Structure 1
Amino acid sequence: MVRTRSSRPLRVALLGCGVVGSQVARLMLTQADDLAARVGAPVELAGVAVRRPDRARETVPPELVTTDAAGLVASGDIDVVVELIGGIEPARTLIDSAFAHGASVVTANKALLAQDGPARYAEAERHGADLYFEAAVAGAIPLLRPLRESLAGDRVNRVLGIVNGTTNFILDRMESTGAGYGEALAEASALGYAEADPTADVEGFDAAAKAAILAGIAFHSRVSLDEVHREGITEITASDIASARAMGRTVKLLAICERSQDGRSVTARVHPAMIPLSHPLASVREAYNAVFVEADSAGQLMFYGPGAGGAPTASAVLGDLVAACRNKLNGGRGPGESAYARLPVRPMGEVVTRYHISLDVMDKPGVLAQCATVFADHGVSIDTVRQSGKDGEAELVVVTHRAPDAALSATVEALRGLDTVHGVASIMYVEGE
């Protein structure tokens, strides 16, 4: 028989019973004795709020299912609310109601936290409740807790990683099979990695929300979603992948959060980038996620694992649930918002980075010199140049040294205006060195 410190069960309301929610319910019911031993009291699933009650749910007893999420949260006897609905509303209203009625909250809602996280922190603080959200970034990978707690005594300077499994799967397929973007997306959809509407993933919105959360925690500053520079992968071509391979690189969608060298500001961005095949992130395949954290004392740390899926994400939710329940039982609280540094977020134009630029140009003497002059006029130094062509047409590929993004963008616009340049075939960031 499991001995616990309290016989009063801690009651949990589960909002949403989809891919992740159904796994959370299953684990709570099948591992009830283990959860009780870890928490110090029984943990009871008090109710599961859903939109479609007639849908078959093997993991949830029918008597626990309700369509009245607001009533379940406001019942007055709920200790922890697990919000897995997603989106802004009604999730925001339900979370605030949970706080007002004395419950702590565990959520995986990256969109709400990135858009309106400070207000949720404030509500939790006002009512003496906890707000946990490990599952909002990188699925099962323990990442936010190390940033919030394990590295609380260190200074984090950079967070760089692959935080969206769908886009990593697509780019991996383009790299390994030579497929075009459309073919790779179709395969991701067929395997269930991509949603029916994949916009949030392939246009970088999902990764940008995660970058906002990561930057805020890492740099103890508020970083909103609209301050994160965002580019997706929809314009990536098989030619881009081949060009990267020729340079000993691969293409990944990266979330990059950095502290400036003087320590007075931060940047957060999401975009495709070419990285060396020798970089550990280059070997992250399929729908896996991996994140590098660079800190003053700890040095480089890497977190790797499945970034999505019902069971892996449920694992992160259960970890938060145990922490929230322990705090309820012992009268303590977990970490709240840490935004004391108040570092401003610099615009993308001030980020110092590198470009890989592919130009379609006339194949005649003087074109390379003309293009090089444009780079020089904008203060951008060229690292390497590769030119090939025939019958009066040529491809000119230029990789730059590091320069402000604004200067690089201005260079590209000036190149577009040259009579000898027929078009800019592609522009991609170069990272990982």
Structure 2
Amino acid sequence: MYFFDDLSLSTIIIIGGGFGGLQLVKRLNDKPYRVLLLDKHNYHTFQPLLYQIASAGISADAIAFPFRRKIGPYPNIAFRMAEVTEVSPVNKIVHTNIGDFNYDYLIIATGSTTNYFGNVNLEKYGLPLKSIPDSLNLRSDILQEFETALITEAIESQDRFLKFVIVGGGPTGVELAGALAEIKKYVLPKDYTEIKKDRMHVKLIEAGDRLLPPMSEKSSRLAKKYVEQLGVEVLLNTTVTDYDGVVITLGDGQKIESENVIWTAGVKGVVLNGIPKELIVRGNRYKVDAFNRIEGYDNIFAIGDIALMTADPKYPKGHPGVAQGAVQQAKNLGKNFMRMHQKKELLPFRYHDKGSMATIGRHRAVVDLPYVSFGGYLAWYVWMFVHLMTLVGFRNRFMVFMSWMWNYFTYDRALRLIIRPYKRPE
């Protein structure tokens, strides 16, 4: 058994406890390395279900898992809650807000953040959905808008409070649109009887010519059909150029009044100070070789959304930014650390696409597997099973399952709570 206080072991620092970082921690348990995990939060976030917090379907703690509960039994691994300020590759030091840490090997698994493509107004007034605080802000905003609409006498003025515009037709945007449509159908008539539910509108805007661009055309068509059946207005081939907090300006000059613009239209990598900027490539990511080493370094690696690998023959433009890619890279890197210790040849990473999926409300989902695509009831059950099994920790799985059962049988979203009011930017 190896222990963290054994200074004779090489030190690995992992920055970021997302899907890739946490999987690598698991792979390095009781291996001949000292491992230190750094993250600015003390918990792992299961990002695929953030939209369900925002739509009051599940509680925030159901998709958050404390790092210390995971790594507590691991004798050679430690965790520090810290924000990395800079990396010094020459001196092999990570600088943080709580002090400096020396490393022999560095793994950057910082993930991605919302990309506003340089639009300052959208960044200021739009609502992102990339973290638990984001999802709680959005939940409060939705409920506060209902309360405001309730005390607004002029019907015309109610519209901008009850109009929700989602920008970005990827999985997050599509799933959130379905959830909001179900709030309109099941919650609004019960909780806000003085508001006619037909006054609530959900719009889904996508710059491309179809929803769910990474998925098959069949799944895209089905997803559009499902959200439209729920009453969502879909605008394809449409861009958003500006937003002042009240009025959205589209690429063709059309204007839409809404106080609720949710931005899910893109992400970019979270890069670190200290790594040369010339190594940052498309999508604000680090270019890595077939072994996930950042170009020019033999002891600094990047995995997950922050890494762009073009050495995989089947994916010359890079891998999709999904959890399974980060997990697979972490597993391969874990094997390679053991091979390095044993002085063996490293294994190049090869991505294996296990499929993708998205849910659009009750009994509606789309699933792409390597050799088949399907939608409807079966896809919905597959989506639920896969997400339950992917959650970290039995408690989280149990909490999410019970919330889903409650929602399913009662048609009720029980977590309609404004715990911390959302304050709009001035």
TM-score (norm 1): 0.26
TM-score (norm 2): 0.27
Higher relative contact order (CA 8 A, sep 6+): 2
Which has the higher Rg, Structure 1 or Structure 2? 1
